[in-house]
Amino acid sequence: MSQEAGMFSAGDVVSSHSPSFGKELTVEELPLPADFAWGTATAAYQVEGGISADGKGKSIWDTYAHLEPSRTNGENADVTCDHYHLVPEDVELMSSLDVDVYRFSIAWSRIIPLGGRNDPINEKGIAFYNDLIDRLLARNIEPVVTLYHWDAPQGIYDRYTALLDTAEFQADFKHYASLCFSRFGDRVKKWVTFNEPYIISIFAHLNGTLAPGHCRAVGTDTKTEPWRVGHTVILSHATVVEMYMADFFPTQKGQISIVLNGHFYEPYDTTSQIHIDAAQRRLVFYIGWFGDPVFLGQDYPPEMRAYLGSRLPEFTAEERELLQRTAKFNAFYGMNHYTTKYARALTDPPADDDWTGNIEELAVNSQGQEAGPVSGIAWLRAAPGGFRKLLNWVWDRYHLPVIVTENGCPCPGEDDVETAVDDKYRQMYFGLYLDAISRAIYEDGVKVEGYYAWSLMDNYEWSAGYGPRFGIVHVDFKTLKRTPKNSAYYLKESFQKRRKATK
């Protein structure tokens, strides 16, 4: 199949019955700033493989993916895309697509196998990331590095349950971050401390669907654990930001921030105030939980304090001062976003470990209208209008430049390479979401600086295993052959066109 086969043109539409986005979703190929950066993103555990190569230690995901009975669809990421051994090929692939940025994460246990501040350093692991960074720069691709993308070393989990011990984790994370800044910071100029703390807190320490799998069924305290974990993330982030600005920024001149994920929420019933309020409350519980302390230097949102009471930890006077000092140093708002949902206020009493604000999330509203056309997985629908609204919500609340650090979707029927390459839905999705960014910039005044597609290639999708394929490059997991999908070429050409229009 040729590169052009199956590609769509501006003006193509996707049918939708959403009141927020009209009856049709039309790609218009609207312009973007000439200096707007586009890139791709991955996470270490999802693509690297090399589970024990060259001295790498175990992470909590190496353990979780091997539990019996399996909680990851019977699959693991011991090899996955084998990015660890195929970096030269993958960097050349990105270069061929004219990628500006590669956002990747460092596997903490690859460079400090046991994870702790007094544990040995693995120089071979550091050499791997040095090589990756140097190859990227040689191809004029900017490395954007995430320090923590869900894969805590098993060593620190065994010692003190990792994120559940704030003081110990904070000290070990600071040491790990300092090592990364000192070894890579002469070349890395954008750092992310944590990826998606909401997911770390809720899905790993309440629902139990992600490592380390804490949930009520295994006897953990789901009423307080998620909020303790979130507290640890916030304070660890602030500690590392302060260290970076004091010890490394004067010579390295880089930027640092955090990446928050979040859906946008429309009211289930726009004629009912309780559902209108529920949509806003859901955004606060999802994004404000971390955004307000990190970006504003404030306490948790009052809505959360009122609802959660003693379940939500208190910041000490010293911790509040730390948050206030460091809030101004966050250089950008990292946004991971995929879809929009409807928020419906519930009237029955919530469970004692409820984390939603007693709100149900739905794909269909009270009028039977869908949030948007469904992708390859049921929860993810193309809803660019909601994306634009979220960009505005974040800008109005935090007044920070936004970098869209993850956005993408799987397509229906990507099982064989021929079908996967002709990914019209994904191309349409990208086009619609890029148009939404253009409108947010030029019509709404939101400052958006970049867009990183999720993901560079099909990979191990956590507890879903190798089912959903989010890549713009198809991976045959038996042969490891990479085959760019039409969406990869669409993005390359679309960015050339959109940025050229503004010069």
| Residues tagged active-site | 196, 406
Residues contacting 312, CB < 8 A, separation 6+:
227, 300, 304, 305
Name the phi and psi angles at 32, rounded to 5: -130, 160
- Pair 377, 410: CB distance under 8 Å: yes
> Hey, how many other C-beta atoms are within 10 angstroms of the C-beta on 306?
10
C-alpha–C-alpha distance, residues 317 and 152, integer Å: 28
Report the 3 state secondary structure along 281-333. Answer: HHHHHHHHHHHHHHHHCCCCCHHHHHHHHHHCCCCCHHHHHHHHHHHHHCCCE
Which one-letter DSSP state was computed for residue 464? G
Token pair for residue 14? 């996707």
3-state secondary structure of 380: coil
Report how far residue 220's alpha carbon sits from residue 206's, in angstroms, rounded to the nearest whole number: 8
DSSP letter (8 states) at residue 370: B
- Using left for φ > 0, alpha for ψ between -120 and 50, and beta otherwise, residue 439 falls in alpha
CA angle 198, 204, 210 (to 5 degrees): 115
